[in-house]
Structure 1
């Protein structure tokens, strides 16, 4: 961030969900579906003061609306005067307004070559593609709690027969380091990828990230990246943290994420997002 920090105030606040708004359930690869009161109150203060609040997550659209509801912002209930939220889903591949859920921008790609390359090296992986409004089409069931909605068993060839916005690759028996090595070795030409906290690999269209999705929203709102505060904790937040005028990593983030940020706040277990937002909207 440039000089003049003391006079700066974000016009748009981009918030990751899992590990930022919601705390992790230790050892289970999922989060508590509850926004702490301190975080909810801080988000509400910023919103009421005129800041645009944008959720930005690797989750699919239908996996984000329940969290949007938890924030209980003006515009979230019928009859409210507020505008619908802008939401960046699927690591930037889908941008929508809510409520109601209205997709306004989507990026797709041919995932078949990358998925086939991964399966040649790692034939036991789980593969998932979003089935909007239903859940996911999967080659085999994922661990309980890792995907929202229903899981529809589908052959891999059918999963990637058409262009998609995102593909999830998962192996509960491997580690994040295993998947980082796999992705580097394969190169995964024609796609971008991000590895999560566990052996979870998201495949996306080239050039698509939370940053690109947020850039679309910012352009619609007439806001420069310099006026954006972004808060996140995962590797899929790195581009967003670098793009924003102020990028803040959560305290529990891995070093790679912390290095991409302008600052580090407290962990999700200590309401780090609330502490950062309250700095600008006390």
Structure 2
């Protein structure tokens, strides 16, 4: 089971946070639905630092619907006042129905004019009572299933690509992933570009970074050289270089902040 805080650099700073599984047909389109809720005192700010999963997110808030592209670096959002968001981490099969060029929105968010979706999710979130989060997640999922339509062979192949690159027993290189999928490396690259906007190699590196960060949070005493080997890095230097490039800090500094 995926850690519900995977990709969140400092889980202790989170507001109320829930992660729900996708149900029914939506499981082919959504990896999971995530729902943060916050109610902060006047003048209080909660900064959320995120290293995104190598995927796109469809996000519904009270006054907007946005499509967030995959990210190449750490990002943050400052929460104030009272609010909520309902986000879907998209599986690759869902992406072409929302954008023809995911690479064009890397590290960006674009607003979508989808008032029906926004109202359906907002009504569920603000209805209160037992199960309101699940109702909101279902509203988003049902809209997405209708938007995408029946899953075709290209969508199934794109989902299989992500499973091979990021799932349990994931491939250690694009070449290995292509072999497992019985496609050429060039075909694998086209799939990743069309459905994620990142290269297969970049997706693998992000998975390794998530693995390493999660391990550092869970076991602050872990030896960094051993961690590098366990996470698929060639050595400690490669681990440190990846942390610096994406997070702007070393693994040692991240460990100190995450445990502080």
- So what's the TM-score if we normalise by structure 1? 0.30
* More helix, by proportion: 2
Q: Which protein, 1 or 2, shows the higher relative CO under an 8 Å CA cutoff with sep ≥ 6?
A: 1
Q: State TM-score, norm by structure 2.
A: 0.32
